[in-house]
Amino acid sequence: MLNKQQFSQHLLDWFYKNKREMPWRETKDPYKIWLSEVMLQQTQVNTVKPYYLKFTERFPDILTLASADIDEVSKYWEGLGYYSRVRNFHSAVKEVQDSYDGIIPNDPEDFLKLKGVGPYTQGAVMSIAFNHQIPAVDGNVYRVFSRLDNDDYDISSSSARRHFEQKVMDVMPEAAGDFNEALMELGATVCTPKSPLCMFCPVQEHCESYRAGTVELLPVKLKKIKKKTEHWKVLVIMHDDKIYIEQRPDSGLLQSMWQFPMFNIDTHQDTIEEQLNMSLYIEADPFMSLKHQFTHVTWQMEVYRAVALGHVDDAKFIDIEEKERFNFPVSMTKIFKKYIDELK
């Protein structure tokens, strides 16, 4: 990088003129900024916008959210995925209400101790809401600085965060929050993973990989997570015009959410009936197939209609109209919709 001060100024000038309109950029309320950063983890901006508006309308402040039941809060998150985010956020907000009189601590170390808050969220919220000189390093920032400095440092290494945080600190101006947002904006809209828009980059003159012709080779990521595929048999079980649902365990993937019963694809019917404690008629062929991807695992689901025979535990069957009372993951909502559509 040729001139660090010029780089920062060029980036900020571009950001102030070209930044996208986002509802959380219209406030300095640390609660709403924090919420937006949690929602934006692993989720695209356009997906987050309506959820953010709906969530802040129902839970406009710390006290309102801290006082709410987690089941209701989760309903307002339904469809965003990565549900541990909302559980951790709700727990952290309750701690703020109980331990900090409902005021988000502006001490970075105190904020970092809250549940679900990591170095990136700490840097983003503390800099944007309070202008603390703290970097907010995410994948966008790794990519931008790898290219700016033609740096082949492995971004998957355990030391990568410290390495790139120092790079950000070396060029961070007084307007720390705007600078962090500008870096994220640059990575999201110009310095993209594929086909970066180098000809429109406001800091092209500072970019060593552009001069070297190595932009497309960076950043370097040596480790690759191998995603496994799990094959599931899903049953939509009816009895007297009611439908069977069950709650997932209170730990692990999609914890405490509701679903149709799922079994390993090779599970025999007698085993299913024993586990559910009911006799079943299961159609021979699935009425739909569905693939749902998580970060480290893919679910391949074959979905079957079934009917419960004889005596059943009515407590686990609900009227179809009651669906909205329960927090279902996206995959189960898709199954529900397909099933209902075919009933019409």
Residues 103 and 134 in one domain: yes
Residue 196 is encoded by which pair of tokens? 């970066």
Looking up residue 306, the CATH number of its domain turns out to be: 3.90.79.10
Collapsed DSSP state (helix, strand, coil) of residue 338? helix
pLDDT at 2: 56
pLDDT at 46: 95
Residues 243 and 136 in one domain: no
Let me know the angle formed at the C-alpha of 305 by 275 and 309, rounded to the nearest 5 degrees.
55
Enter the pTM of the model: 0.77
Determine, yes or no, domain membership for 222: no
Determine, yes or no, domain membership for 9: yes
d(CA 65, CA 61): 6
Domain of residue 115 covers 4-217
pLDDT at 225: 65
Picking from 185, 217, 249, the residue at the C-terminal end of a domain is 217
- Strands 297-309 and 228-239, by their bridges, are parallel
Mean pLDDT by 10 residues, the chain (344 residues): 83 98 96 98 94 98 97 93 92 98 97 97 98 96 96 94 96 97 97 95 95 91 82 96 92 87 96 93 94 89 95 84 90 94 81
Catalytically active residues, by annotation: 37
Q: Total domain count for the chain? A: 2
Q: What are phi and psi of 47, to 5 degrees?
A: -70, -40
For residue 108, what are the contacts with CB-CB under 8 A and spacing of at least 6? 122, 126, 132, 134
Residues 191 and 324 in one domain: no
Count Cβ atoms below 10 Å from residue 200 Cβ, excluding itself: 11
Q: What are phi and psi of 218, to 5 degrees?
A: -120, 150
pLDDT at 4: 80
Residues 100 and 151 in one domain: yes
pLDDT at 227: 81
Looking up residue 159, the CATH number of its domain turns out to be: 1.10.340.30
Determine, yes or no, domain membership for 135: yes
Residues 262 and 208 in one domain: no
Determine, yes or no, domain membership for 98: yes
